[in-house]
Structure 1
Amino acid sequence: MASSLPRLLIGATAAAGLVVPLGALPAMADVEEGKKIQILGITDFHGRLDADGIGTASVIERERAAFDGGEAATTLLSAGDNIGASIYTSSAQEDAPTIDYLNALELDASAVGNHEFDRGLDDLSDRIVPRSDFPTLGANVYKEGTKDHFDALPASHQYEVDGVKVAVIGVVTQDTASLVSPDGISGLEFGDATEAVNDEAARLEALPDAEKPDLTIVQAHLGPDVTDSVDGAKGSNREFAKLVDDADASVDALFFGHSHKKMALEAPVPGTDRTRPIVQADHYAKAVSKLVLEADAEGNWNVDTNEVLATKGEDYDSERVTKAKQIIADAEDVAKEKGSEVVGEITEDITRAEKDGKEDRGAESTLGNLVADALKEGASYTQLEEADFGITNPGGLRTDLKCDDIYNDEKKCEVTVAELNGVLPFANDHGVVTMTGEAVTQLFEEQWQPEGASRPFLHLGISDELDVVYDSTAEAGDRVKSVKVNGEDIDPNREYKVATLSFLAAGGDNFAAFATGTFEQSGMTDFEIWQKYFEENSPVSPDKKERQADAALDVISNGTVDATLTGSEDEPTNFAVNLNADEKVTGPVTYGVSGLPEGFEVDYGEHAGDNGDGARIDEIPAGDSDYPFTITAPEGAKAGEYPFTVSLTADPEHPFWDDNPMPLVHTVEAAVTVPEDDPSDDPSDDPSDDPSDEPSDDPSDDGKDDDGKGKDDNGKDKDGKGTDDKGRLPRTGAELATALGVALALIGAGAASVYAVRRRSQL
């Protein structure tokens, strides 16, 4: 409770121990005009028992003490995800210290969040709820096939705050069914949040006057991705927009969570000319929301104060803060003993994807791919057969591995148990799903989430055995263009063994294709596999190669650049890559020849790369541009055709991934021919073999042609051109086997199209 004075419980729905007989309720007077109530809020705390946890407790206590209505007129509420995805200080003891911390701060009520379901229903109902001194609310959490509320999660909680009858309704995002392991919530359904709020609000409004709430507050574990305006917020999340627009007019304030944003706005109340606050307190103990409401003469509540208060560095002296500090200190002692063990080391930071300074679950990351590598290798640590590859979800990655992050007293770049647990805190079961190649391809289609999901695209982490090409502009169901396993096209009819987590294996995060397979558990958790992987493979380095590529970003695939290979009839040893660009393309881009036998040389001229392997184009100009190169066969090369491949792709040292203008490799195959010896070249038939023809015997022979150019020892002009009177190449020359002067499309619309993932380094 927020006050040191006892609160009077007015009523609750379907929760043992939370209902006071209605006959025991006293009659209460209407709220007088000018009465103020302070509502302090947190959300998405996620077990942050650290300095920010101390800051959160301090801000709460400071605002309680400073409120001019008095501490008794303050209530403290949460919009859910108090636990789960927690730092090791809390997760080392399955978040029990976090519940104790919230009890110490006298939290009055909390909505249930999706993470409260991480360890399943039995843990929620048998451990979390009984340990909590506050009710956990879930108005839209029903027993399967009914509208009966799950016993441990009442729809609302009623209590008195300084003479004001308060009702709190709690709901959780309907996406919860896809955000936690389906096996852990078997027997439950998650209904429409707005309908549940309105059903409960109608029930509360129908109560006798003595029991009807004076102030109704919604705590909703769902939220917008945009929070700078009401219209922007509503446009970013339909579930949020529906609740804001359609929640019953008896609801006086709406608190949100789940999207990890801060918000302090007001939105119109349907059917009235009033507005009501819509509030969110950021996440990870970074802030506390402060809302002060004042009653008017009609019994409506108007906003006096609506702000979000930062907690960093705050330290307030009070009894509750002292108690919270002790809980944190005790938890840290336990965690440091368990978590300080050094498991391995990293050579450099291994991180999640990031955009605008925030985690981006829609992009590839070195951390996601590393976890997938670990899951794949992890099958070999168990009784299971070896996996073909591994796959993980981005939402399971909760922090980065950084060299400068020091948990206790380990050395720079050393990795502890606690730090590894911070990456994978959910304790999912590890195992292998046996599924068809067709289902695997469908998994990558399912990265595009169903309409209305909280994120439109979730980029799967994949192990090194996999290469995937997709086209983000293609029609749904036809976006995946290529899936390769160890360089070979995936066989839609073959069964593959996919190492993954129980969360995904059950179809979590809307990856339903996983559920078409058979899941065998390894008997180890994801964290245990992760820890052993570091023990076996340290030091661990990030693989900076892109394993999934978007063809829509590729300037050749999308038609911005037309690339062809051309040869020359006049100079058959020479040919060129021709690029015709609609607009300037910032490189770097490389092209090169591969597949020729040893001894063949390729001269790229002024575009030769620093390492001598291929050529580099720093920028493709608009219009036509040619990039020539020459192939020369070694002296004595046998006559015949010698196939080779010309490849064009981004520079291997390209510093970025998702805005790469050429993420794919574009190739064409050609051949050079070393011709048969011509009898006219036989020394015995060549007049030059006559001693009288030797240059040393002819004073007039100065080693020059009639045109005055010098020759080398092979009879070639010193400018590299042959002098054969028939215009043929010398034996040491080469020519294109393909029709000279005919352009060969490196990438076209027909059979010439080649999709292959480019495997390149990121700085």
Structure 2
Amino acid sequence: MTKHEGRFSRRSVLRGGAALAATAAVSPYLVFRAHAAPATGELAMIAGTPNPNGALEKLYLLKGDPLAGPIQSIVTETGASVPVSGLERGERRLVRLMHFNDMHNHITEMHAKKGDTHVFSQMVKQVKALRAAAAADEVVLFISGGDDHTGSIFDELMGWSPQEFLADAGYRVYSAGGVDVAVLGNHEFDRGAEVLKKGIATDARFPLLSANVHGSAFLKRDDDYVAAAIGEVKGLRIGFVGLTTSVDTRVGQPADPGLAVASPLDAVRNVLPALASITDMVVVLSHCGYGSEQHKSGKAGTTRTIGEGDFAIAETIAPLTDKPIVIIGAHTHTKLNAEGIDPHNMVEGVLITQAQAHGAFLGEIAMSIRAENGRKGWFSSVGLRHTKSRDKRVKAGEPGFEALEQEEDYDVDFEQAHVAPLIKALDTRLNEVIGQVPDDQLVSTERTFADRYVGETALANFMNDALVKRSENFPNGRIDIALFNASGLASGLSQGSLSFRQWYDVMPYADGVHVATMTGAQIRDMLTSNAKRILRPEEVDKVDTSAFVSRGFLHFSSALRYTIKLNGSAGEAEAVDITIAGKPIEHALDKDYKVAFNTYIALGGFGETWNGKPIGGDVPGQIPSMDLRDLPYDHTGLIYRNEVVAMIREVRTMVAQTGVALDQRVHLLR
């Protein structure tokens, strides 16, 4: 983003509804003055540089503090030439918002047998075609709903520090592909705000938005991202405001203790009236999740904690303006409005939509915007365009061939120019064979998904035991117990050679190793809470275990053994017969143990609630969770996945003798 180099010229002050020295209808929020720095209650409208590959002709960044209170005025350099609408009275524009969300760096899906699926290049081809065919009164924008990091091997190009940084793959291809604007999602912060800042500065040629992220020691509002922006194209003026989930963003990390996420409702309530007053329409980029409070959709197999989600946002903003508003959602990976507008997704005239995740769909919102027409009859169509998967084993004429990606379905030149160099940079690490899987009976994706929420899981056993073994060389000594959350197991393994990329698919999340000192009594309490989180036998047939069951169920290394006594309900479930290294817990309640946590659980599990809030994921009874956030932690700086990969390289073959086994470390007693 460029900083404004000019100075404001004082022409008039417009506040409270009366226009002083103005000949056209103007916003009551505008203030014109000589100095750009906004005061409390103000946002400065600063000229920025649109993505040269995008559609916007002009870009204005709204800088200032959106959280100090309602925005009473917008400081601008453009004087009375900024009317309420960018269109003449009665003038019309057809607007197409082409959107995606939660790409998680699944830019190109690489598969040794099926071939590569060129997900983002398929989207680029469609957007380019729409822009090339656009009529004189048609606008085509390309928008990301956030979570553009964490989930694929491309993340490895970012490294874990600015010194290790090679590229921000997502932002680099988005810039080349013509993305106009994006919002900061919670997973943008997984590798720390300092690395994110490097990625934005190096590779983002479009504005990043969030009105409610604040306080980072590294990522600076108004320098690296802004609360809101205004884009102009073909006379149409579009306002954008970004919102980030306050539930699942990794705040509270020692390297950046000031990073915080305020209420998205407070932020949008403060910003939207002023933003709407000088735009023809407003797009809210909400990386807050579909629903509100507890809700089940998208990647959730049971309800999960959403907090102030899209329903609450829509109810908040609908009365604030009569301008057209759409909420492009994200975070929950929800497929919305695939066959047109679902009435459940219209809240007081505000559309909520979302395009699932990982590039499965390119969302499309087509609107007829007419000056001073408000939210009357403004939708032409809403839907999702399915991207195709590759399977080169299926030949022309065979069943299913037409539904699979072929060369004509993606922008081949774009892929070669912009994605292929990133893949080449990853080649060595992608293709490295780190081990062998002689038999996938216990570790297949199907088996892992079936086991992970209901009890002992072979892959989790291997991972946790590997970390304990690796800790023999940790600077601060060996750990006694390691744990990992069930939902962090994102895939299983197939028989044959095991590549780094395949293991990355198992553990895609950016988890560090944090070693807490816990007493035996605290470990007993943790297991008691864990017993209430298990997917009970009577629930299994009703729940899709391939989806996220956001209860925070934990797996442990072999030194910790126990029985889950299910009893009659989750509230009555208990952990019994607990032993640590063969010693009954009753004889070790005052003894200290070193317990290794992954980052997600050490920070309280967010929506999976190891933070004192009630256990979610459809567990009845509002059962309070144990709060793990205030344990005394040694933040090792080590990466959980890297330690496990090192163990795989050492043992080479993943079999029972090297730890891939079920050893009855947890029993279920009905």
TM-score (norm 1): 0.61
Deviation per CA, 1:241-263: give whole Å up to 9, x if none: 32243333436111111112211
Shift of 1:497: 1.5
Give, in whole Å, the separation in 2 of the partners of 1:430 and 1:539. 24
Sort the Cα spacing of 1:57 and 1:237 in 2 relative to 1 into closer, same or farther, 3 A. farther
| Residue aligning to 2:595 | 498
| Residue aligning to 2:426 | 335
Query: Aligned runs of 1:288-687 on 2, under 5 Å?
Result: 288-295=362-369, 298-300=373-375, 302-313=378-389, 314=405, 322-349=413-440, 351=443, 365-403=457-495, 413-447=496-530, 456-470=550-564, 479-490=574-585, 491-509=588-606, 510-512=609-611, 513-521=627-635, 524-541=638-655, 542-545=660-663, 547-549=665-667, 551=669, 554=670
Tell me if the contact between 1:64 and 1:70 (Cα under 8 Å) persists in the aligned partners: no
Give, in whole Å, the separation in 1 of the partners of 2:575 and 2:107. 43
| Residue aligning to 1:215 | 281
Q: Secondary structure at the match of 1:47?
A: coil
Give, in whole Å, the separation in 2 of the partners of 1:399 and 1:180. 26
Give, in whole Å, the separation in 2 of the partners of 1:537 and 1:181. 36
Deviation per CA, 1:682-739: give whole Å up to 9, x if none: xxxxxxxxxxxxxxxxxxxxxxxxxxxxxxxxxxxxxxxxxxxxxxxxxxxxxxxxxx
Bigger drift between 125-134 and 152-161 goes to 125-134
- Residue in structure 1 matching 2:153, options 88, 103, 109: 88
Deviation per CA, 1:630-655: give whole Å up to 9, x if none: xxxxxxxxxxxxxxxxxxxxxxxxxx
Sort the Cα spacing of 1:11 and 1:150 in 2 relative to 1 into closer, same or farther, 3 A. closer
Shift of 1:289: 0.7
Give, in whole Å, the separation in 2 of the partners of 1:366 and 1:185. 35
| Greater radius of gyration (CA) | 1
- Residue in structure 2 matching 1:243, options 310, 313, 328: 313
Give, in whole Å, the separation in 2 of the partners of 1:427 and 1:235. 21
Shift of 1:329: 1.2
Shift of 1:150: 7.5
Tell me if the contact between 1:342 and 1:417 (Cα under 8 Å) persists in the aligned partners: yes
Give, in whole Å, the separation in 1 of the partners of 2:451 and 2:557. 21
Tell me if the contact between 2:604 and 2:610 (Cα under 8 Å) persists in the aligned partners: yes
Give, in whole Å, the separation in 1 of the partners of 2:127 and 2:265. 31
Sort the Cα spacing of 1:243 and 1:444 in 2 relative to 1 into closer, same or farther, 3 A. farther
Deviation per CA, 1:60-106: give whole Å up to 9, x if none: 43245247644961111111111122x22442444522221111111
Opposite residue 123 of structure 2, the aligned amino acid is V
Is 1:261 the counterpart of 2:319? The answer is no
Shift of 1:182: 2.8
Tell me if the contact between 1:56 and 1:287 (Cα under 8 Å) persists in the aligned partners: no
Opposite residue 534 of structure 1, the aligned amino acid is I
Opposite residue 260 of structure 2, the aligned amino acid is E
How many residue pairs match? The answer is 521
Shift of 1:114: 0.8
Give, in whole Å, the separation in 1 of the partners of 2:512 and 2:305. 37
Shift of 1:166: 0.7
| Residue aligning to 1:252 | 325
Opposite residue 528 of structure 1, the aligned amino acid is N
Sort the Cα spacing of 1:466 and 1:82 in 2 relative to 1 into closer, same or farther, 3 A. same
Opposite residue 371 of structure 1, the aligned amino acid is M
Opposite residue 365 of structure 1, the aligned amino acid is T
Q: Secondary structure at the match of 2:654?
A: coil
Q: Secondary structure at the match of 1:73?
A: strand
Q: Secondary structure at the match of 2:205?
A: coil
Tell me if the contact between 2:123 and 2:410 (Cα under 8 Å) persists in the aligned partners: no
Shift of 1:134: 1.3
Shift of 1:310: 1.3
Q: Secondary structure at the match of 1:83?
A: coil
Sort the Cα spacing of 1:43 and 1:363 in 2 relative to 1 into closer, same or farther, 3 A. farther
Tell me if the contact between 2:93 and 2:369 (Cα under 8 Å) persists in the aligned partners: yes
Shift of 1:499: 2.6
| Residue aligning to 1:578 | none
Give, in whole Å, the separation in 1 of the partners of 2:135 and 2:303. 33
| Residue aligning to 2:274 | 203
| Residue aligning to 1:176 | 248
Query: Aligned runs of 1:8-87 on 2, under 5 Å?
Result: 8-14=58-64, 21-23=77-79, 27=83, 28-30=86-88, 32=90, 35-51=93-109, 54-66=118-130, 69-70=134-135, 73-85=139-151, 87=152
Sort the Cα spacing of 1:61 and 1:91 in 2 relative to 1 into closer, same or farther, 3 A. same
Give, in whole Å, the separation in 1 of the partners of 2:553 and 2:631. 21
Deviation per CA, 1:426-450: give whole Å up to 9, x if none: 454335322112222333355568x
Tell me if the contact between 2:99 and 2:145 (Cα under 8 Å) persists in the aligned partners: yes
Deviation per CA, 1:488-542: give whole Å up to 9, x if none: 3322211111133345445454435544443335564223311221123231133
Tell me if the contact between 2:560 and 2:581 (Cα under 8 Å) persists in the aligned partners: yes
Query: Unmatched 5+ residue regions in structure 2?
Result: 1-50, 66-74, 110-115, 160-166, 390-404, 534-547, 612-626
Tell me if the contact between 1:12 and 1:154 (Cα under 8 Å) persists in the aligned partners: yes
Shift of 1:41: 0.7
| Residue aligning to 1:282 | 356
Tell me if the contact between 1:353 and 1:364 (Cα under 8 Å) persists in the aligned partners: no
Sort the Cα spacing of 1:40 and 1:375 in 2 relative to 1 into closer, same or farther, 3 A. same
Deviation per CA, 1:362-389: give whole Å up to 9, x if none: 7653322322111111201333433222
Opposite residue 212 of structure 2, the aligned amino acid is N
Q: Secondary structure at the match of 2:526?
A: helix
| Residue aligning to 1:743 | none
Tell me if the contact between 1:59 and 1:288 (Cα under 8 Å) persists in the aligned partners: yes
Sort the Cα spacing of 1:242 and 1:355 in 2 relative to 1 into closer, same or farther, 3 A. farther
Give, in whole Å, the separation in 1 of the partners of 2:179 and 2:558. 47
Query: Unmatched 5+ residue regions in structure 1?
Result: 404-412, 555-763
Q: Secondary structure at the match of 2:336?
A: strand
Tell me if the contact between 2:54 and 2:142 (Cα under 8 Å) persists in the aligned partners: no
Higher relative contact order at CA 8 Å, sep ≥6: structure 1 or structure 2? 2
Give, in whole Å, the separation in 1 of the partners of 2:409 and 2:60. 29
Tell me if the contact between 2:53 and 2:175 (Cα under 8 Å) persists in the aligned partners: no
Shift of 1:49: 2.9
Tell me if the contact between 1:55 and 1:315 (Cα under 8 Å) persists in the aligned partners: no
Give, in whole Å, the separation in 2 of the partners of 1:46 and 1:268. 24
| Residue aligning to 1:603 | none
